[in-house]
């Protein structure tokens, strides 16, 4: 495995995941779609852990890490799947592109990190302004778009809280182990939620929904995770941070080409503003030094 192939793989997986999320709930319900995906991903992850001779540990710090991870896997993802019913798949990628900004804010507030420099604050404000622009165009997306945007934005916040809590716990566990423990807890919660709210097996699973569930369970959950941590190990953080700036654009194009999603002017402008805000947040200090 080479770094360029892994990098391209993560971009492709992250770009196609929002569309897979939307398709996986068609006619079977979003709860069945996300539950099936996570159960498949959990089983495969546990099998991989066994193959790699890695095991889940259950001391206090480990359990705290698993719970923190499950907050993102269960809490954040269930909101994404719920919101995907009301907004285009490209909008999901755009809103999740804000996660580096929200993680930065929460890390400064709850971890005491001295990360909110004037340039980073400017990037955060500019990125959030892009979100406001997207909100202003909700009329183009239908009456329920505001609910969908709210759910996915809340999901982004939960994802950020999960990341900050994981950093705060500092259990020192391999990432694959933390993912396996988080998936195991989240899968139990998904199964309970599905049984209580729905509990009925679909009479028919359309091919597109079925293939999307398999794709998300195998590729997005298992392969995507492995490639991402491979990049974290081999590249600098600023190089990996480019990915959330690329995927909203590619996800928007894929949604338009494969799902006939409308790309509004507000979405284009808002996406550009969010990407520019992320650039200022990640590399604004370098630009400032050159100008000075």
Tens of pLDDT, residue by residue, the chain (292 residues): 688 888 899 899 989 999 999 999 988 999 999 999 999 999 999 999 999 999 999 999 999 999 999 998 999 999 999 999 998 888 888 888 788 788 778 877 777 766 677 888 888 888 888 888 877 765 555 678 888 989 999 998 998 888 888 888 888 888 888 889 999 999 999 999 999 998 888 888 999 999 999 999 999 988 887 787 677 667 765 567 678 778 888 888 899 899 988 888 888 888 888 888 888 877 766 655 555 5
In a domain, 165, yes or no: yes
pLDDT of 176: 84
pLDDT of 27: 87
Q: Any residues with CB less than 8 A from the CB of 214 and at least 6 apart, and which?
A: 40
Cα 76 from Cα 209, distance rounded (Å): 21
Cα 21 from Cα 97, distance rounded (Å): 16
**Three-state SS for 11?**
helix
Report which of 112, 157, 100 is spatially closest to residue 284, judged by C-alpha positions: 100
In a domain, 292, yes or no: no
Helix or strand run (H / E) with residue 29:
none
59-80 burial: b if 16+ Cβ within 10 Å, else e:
eeebbbbbbbbbbbbbbbbbbb
Instruction: Tell me if 17 sits within 8 A of 152, measured CB to CB.
Output: no
Instruction: Tell me if 231 sits within 8 A of 10, measured CB to CB.
Output: yes
In a domain, 291, yes or no: no
Residue 169: give the domain boundaries: 3-286
pLDDT of 264: 81
- 71 is written with which tokens? 């907050």
In a domain, 45, yes or no: yes
The total domain count for the chain is 1
pTM for the full predicted model? 0.85
In a domain, 30, yes or no: yes
Cα 117 from Cα 121, distance rounded (Å): 6
């Amino acid at each position: 495995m080479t770094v360029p192939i892994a990098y391209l793989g993560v971009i492709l997986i992250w770009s196609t995941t929002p569309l897979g999320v939307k398709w996986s709930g068609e006619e079977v319900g979003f709860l069945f779609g996300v539950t099936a995906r996570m159960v498949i991903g959990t089983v495969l992850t546990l099998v991989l852990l066994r193959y790699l001779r890695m095991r889940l540990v259950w001391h206090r710090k480990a359990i705290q890490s698993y719970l923190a991870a499950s907050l993102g896997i269960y809490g954040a993802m269930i909101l994404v799947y719920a919101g995907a019913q009301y907004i285009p798949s490209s909008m999901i990628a755009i809103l999740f592109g804000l996660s580096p900004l929200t993680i930065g804010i929460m890390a400064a507030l709850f971890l005491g990190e001295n990360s909110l420099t004037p340039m980073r604050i400017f990037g955060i404000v500019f990125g959030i302004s892009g979100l406001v622009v997207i909100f202003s165009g909700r009329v183009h997306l239908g009456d329920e778009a505001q609910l969908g945007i709210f759910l996915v934005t809340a999901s982004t916040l939960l994802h950020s809280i999960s990341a900050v809590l994981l950093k705060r716990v500092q259990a020192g566990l391999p990432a694959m182990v933390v993912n396996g423990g988080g998936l195991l807890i989240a899968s139990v919660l998904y199964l309970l939620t599905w049984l209580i709210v729905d509990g009925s097996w679909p009479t028919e699973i359309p091919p597109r929904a079925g293939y999307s569930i398999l794709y998300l369970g195998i590729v997005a959950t298992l392969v995507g995770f492995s490639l991402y941590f491979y990049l974290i190990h081999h590249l600098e953080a600023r190089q990996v941070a480019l990915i959330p700036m690329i995927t909203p654009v590619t996800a928007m194009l894929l949604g338009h080409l494969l799902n006939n999603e409308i790309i509004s002017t507000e979405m284009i402008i808002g996406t550009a503003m969010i990407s520019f805000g992320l650039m200022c947040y990640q590399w604004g200090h370098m630009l400032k030094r050159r100008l000075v």
